Amino acid sequence: MSAFFTLAILSFLYRDNVFYKIAESVMVGVSAGWAMASAGFWEAIIPKLMANLTPDLMRAWALPDLKEGTRPDLTYLIPLVLGIMLLWRLAPRGGWIARWPLAFIVGTYAGFRLVSYLEADLVSQIRSTIVPLVVLGQDRSIDVWGSLRNAGLVLGLLACLTYFFFSLEHRGMAGKIARIGVWYLMITFGASFAFTVMGRIALLAARISFLFDDWLWLIDPRHIRP
């Protein structure tokens, strides 16, 4: 089955066909089902919701390691009600009821993630660019390569900021600096794209190795077969 689905996906390189559609549908359906059963039911509803509403029942049925003497926490009725309201989207009428829990989810998630995003995407990046232009070694001598690396970092940062400073016309010195910023951006995007392609090539190599090694036994790079 693994070989069939691998070849079915690779058959799209020739043209769109029924085998590719079958493999695509199976992958999407199994992924959705696994996410609902594993992440949705066994990692969210059971341990986080039902374990707080009915701890004794959950301890006897699904969570034997649940601490004994735990009392029901009725405040978890609020997420239970919100979850039921969210399912109202599937009803033929009253779909507007699902907007309230959806708005609550989006608003609370944005509020919780705001601080972490500011720390990761703003503060940490600013902290990483505050570097000395002259790097000294252990013996107080100048580290030439370290100094050039930091100078290039600061130059690239200022050049990229100049490129995105649209209130100033990119002419003269500002235009030249902005042009340097474009080169920095293109190199960064190219490296990021190349890293993504390398990851895809690694996945392809793993599937090809599976076909020729584990399935057809045409190669034996690990020397595990006589």
Would you kindly state where each structural domain of the chain is located, as residue ranges? 1-72, 75-130, 144-219
From residue 81, give the alpha-carbon distance in Å to each of 77, 84, 87, 156, 215.
6, 5, 10, 52, 50
User: What integer pLDDT is reported at residue 101 of this predicted model?
Assistant: 95
Write down the pTM of the prediction: 0.65
| Average pLDDT along the chain | 92
Rounded-to-integer distance, Cα 59 and Cα 37, Å: 19
User: What integer pLDDT is reported at residue 116 of this predicted model?
Assistant: 85
Rounded average pLDDT over 119-143: 88
Q: What is the pLDDT of residues 63-118, one digit of tens each?
A: 998 888 889 999 999 999 999 999 998 888 888 999 999 999 999 999 989 888 88
Q: Are the CB atoms for 221 and 213 separated by under 8 Å?
A: yes
121 pLDDT higher than 90? no
Q: What is the pLDDT of residues 14-55, one digit of tens each?
A: 999 999 999 999 999 999 999 999 989 999 999 999 999 999
User: What integer pLDDT is reported at residue 174 of this predicted model?
Assistant: 92
Sorting pLDDT into bands at 50, 70 and 90, what band is 191? very high
Rounded-to-integer distance, Cα 195 and Cα 5, Å: 26
The pair of three-digit structure tokens given for residue 154, joined into one six-digit string = 């600061």
The pair of three-digit structure tokens given for residue 67, joined into one six-digit string = 């601490």
Rounded average pLDDT over 124-152: 90
* Cα torsion 211, 215, 217, 223: sign: positive
Rounded-to-integer distance, Cα 192 and Cα 52, Å: 44
Q: What is the pLDDT of residues 62-75, one digit of tens each?
A: 999 888 888 999 99
Sorting pLDDT into bands at 50, 70 and 90, what band is 119? confident
User: What integer pLDDT is reported at residue 28 of this predicted model?
Assistant: 96
SS3 142: strand
SS3 136: strand
Q: Are the CB atoms for 214 and 1 separated by under 8 Å?
A: no
Rounded-to-integer distance, Cα 123 and Cα 116, Å: 10
